[in-house]
Amino acid sequence: AVDTGERKEGGGGISCVLQDGEVFEKAGVNVSVVSGLLSEEAARQMRSRGKSLKAKDGKLPFCAMGVSSVIHPKNPHVPTMHFNYRYFEIEEADGTKQWWFGGGTDLTPTYLNEEDAVHFHKTLKEACDKHDLKLYPKYKKWCDDYFYIKHRGERRGIGGIFFDDVDSPSKEEVFQFVKSCAKAVVPCYIPIVKRHCCDSFTPEEKLWQQLRRGRYVEFNLVYDRGTKFGLLTPGSRIESILMSLPLTARWEYMHTPPESSKEAEILEVLRNPKDWVH
């Protein structure tokens, strides 16, 4: 389904969603370019991260643009992947403009495959290293910290890179870096899909995937900043914001996998993130 949305407040976006495919249970891409006045809650959220936003008569004009995608495969041996890259600009009371870029790419496997994890992280590291060798370790740690499901004591997945509020050294240099990250999405993920999309799997493995998807939902609805911002923005398209949620998920009471099982192995990595590239 391809769906175009207009906002009466300004701008709009396109959502493309594939459902019940051969390889992907649900996959979507959102592209949005929106403008308008920042809602009080959204401004509060930004101030809480240290932004000093001086409103004019209580109004903060903003424009934001971004591309985001979430892919939930059918096969439990193919990981879920998410990426999002965005640009934000706010005009303050005195006419000065604050701008920043944010985004990231991360992987959420149902079962751990070390070779896949290394490939994914190495590809993202190469994209970062083209610009500055300090970026990958910094943004890898930021990703592990950000995608943390506090009430479960585990990460949403095996990470990748994540950053926000990046506004230096210059707009052009940050834009080039973000473009490198976006170009790394296909090579970091598609080889993994091709390697596993025809793997055989058992009903038990499918069940474990459903339970992990439940965790994905918990993170997105409770902690994800993009989801929160979207839900707080007047005139936003709820379907596009919740596109990241899987088609199906499960919550079983007190489910604990047996020790030294493949299920316990992934949990260990989600509780204690690993360095995949050294």
Which residues face 84 on adjacent strands?
A: 68, 104
Active site (annotated) includes residue 82: yes
- The one-letter amino acid code at 217 reads V
Q: Which of 25, 26, 159 lies closest to 105, judged by CA?
A: 159
Cα distance between residue 86 and residue 71, in whole Å: 18
211 burial via Cβ count (<10 Å: 0-12, 13-18, 19+):
middle
Q: What type of residue sits at position 38?
A: L
With 0-12 / 13-18 / 19 or more C-beta atoms within 10 angstroms meaning exposed / middle / buried, residue 128 is buried
Q: State the SS3 of 235-264.
A: CCCHHHHHHHCCCCCCCCCCCCCCCCCHHH
Q: Of 72, 82, 119, 121, which one is the catalytic site residue? A: 82
Length of the chain counted residue by residue:
278
Catalytic residues: 82
